[in-house]
Amino acid sequence: MAAGGGGEGVAASLSEERALFDRELEAVGSRAQWEEVRLRWLGKKRGRVRQHLQTLRDLEGEGRKVWGREVNELKRHVEAALARREAAVKALEASASSLAVDVTLPGRRPAVGALHPVSIVTQEIVEIFTAMGYSVAEGPEIEDDYHNFGALNFPPDHPARDTQDTFFIAGGRLLRTHTSPVQIRTMLEREAPPIRIICPGRVYRNDNDLRHSPMFHQVECLVVDKGVTLGHLKGTLEAFVRKLFRPDTGVRLRPSFFPFTEPSAEVDITCPFCSGGGCRTCSETGWMEILGAGMVDPRVLAGCGIDPAVYSGFAFGLGLDRVAMIRFDIPNIRLLFDNDQRLVGQVRG
């Protein structure tokens, strides 16, 4: 042992001991290391403090007194410092274990988004038509009377405007009631035909019940070129609905009226649920009405600077919400707009 007998030397050597202990304790990072240091210094048999105490036996008188006091001081210091360090190491280990990763815990499932049913059918329709050489056109949802009505051959104060349940807004403007104004904007913008476009978008009507929502979606189709006929319209519709629904879907045109087409037709498809046999969804008729169509009225072409003696065209307008409801068997249009994750999440295109 370093400890000697005399006053000064003893004090000096014990202060070195104390510094050595302090350094060892400082390096302690775990309970195991703390226990090692405790044993090395306070161990009953070979602890350093014990060994210093044993040297007392060989001393007498003043030397023994001084040495005894020094060793006791070292002992108290070691005990107190060990106790403090024990608390600190415990706290450290507790916080480390609370931060520890339990690799056996099941992982948290990330919420995976899904496309809205209307977005799914919109994308499909855009794909079907772009594959046939069409381009996508868009127009503003806030329109004016000219694009929404006038240029589409709705005469002023004509009752046909009433069927559109228009939302009028300040400044003589309105929320578009259909996507047909995009036809007008496209024809006015383009230098000359051929034109082959589809225009998906939101439309608005003051109408609200199980089958109608004040905001809904349409896609408009317009083709203008030399020699376009009703046969092209029917062929295009057949190709389209056979891709969108089933390959055996039938198409039927019924005479109808729209101011911007002549002739005009309502278009039915064979019911995708019963293939035309008759079921509850199609009210036992075997058919479902899905869109309005026709040959672009010569007055509309002329109004957009296209010579109807040279060019002709067809157009149709389709309700996307209705298509989504048919495709995914959704009974109520409001379900599409309630933002209920249970509906949006379950549909896969």
Rule CB under 6 A: which residues touch ligand DAH? 178, 180, 220, 258, 261, 292-294, 315-317
Who contacts 66 (Cβ-Cβ below 8 Å, separation ≥6)? 7, 10, 11
Tell the smallest beta-carbon distance from residue 228 to ligand DAH (Å): 13
Q: Are 137 and 182 in contact (CB under 8 A)?
A: yes
Tell the smallest beta-carbon distance from residue 177 to ligand DAH (Å): 7
Tell the smallest beta-carbon distance from residue 251 to ligand DAH (Å): 15
Residue nearest to ligand DAH (CB): 317
Render the burial of 49-62: b for 16+ CB within 10 Å, e for the rest. bebbbebbeebeee
- Specify the residue, 3 or 315, whose C-beta has the smaller distance to ligand DAH: 315
Tell the smallest beta-carbon distance from residue 112 to ligand DAH (Å): 35
Q: Which two tokens stand for residue 172?
A: 């003589």
Who contacts 184 (Cβ-Cβ below 8 Å, separation ≥6)? 147, 151, 152, 300, 303, 304
CA distances from 161 to 146, 151, 158, 204, 207 (A): 12, 13, 6, 14, 14
Tell the smallest beta-carbon distance from residue 296 to ligand DAH (Å): 7
- Specify the residue, 276 or 319, whose C-beta has the smaller distance to ligand DAH: 319
Tell the smallest beta-carbon distance from residue 265 to ligand DAH (Å): 8
CA distances from 2 to 10, 15, 16, 23, 49 (A): 9, 11, 10, 18, 12
Tell the smallest beta-carbon distance from residue 109 to ligand DAH (Å): 42
Residue (of 232, 231, 234, 199) closest to 317 by Cα position: 199
Number of other CB atoms surrounding residue 204 within 10 Å: 22
Q: Are 265 and 284 in contact (CB under 8 A)?
A: no
- The alpha carbon dihedral of 199, 218, 327, 115 has a sign of positive
- Specify the residue, 180 or 213, whose C-beta has the smaller distance to ligand DAH: 180
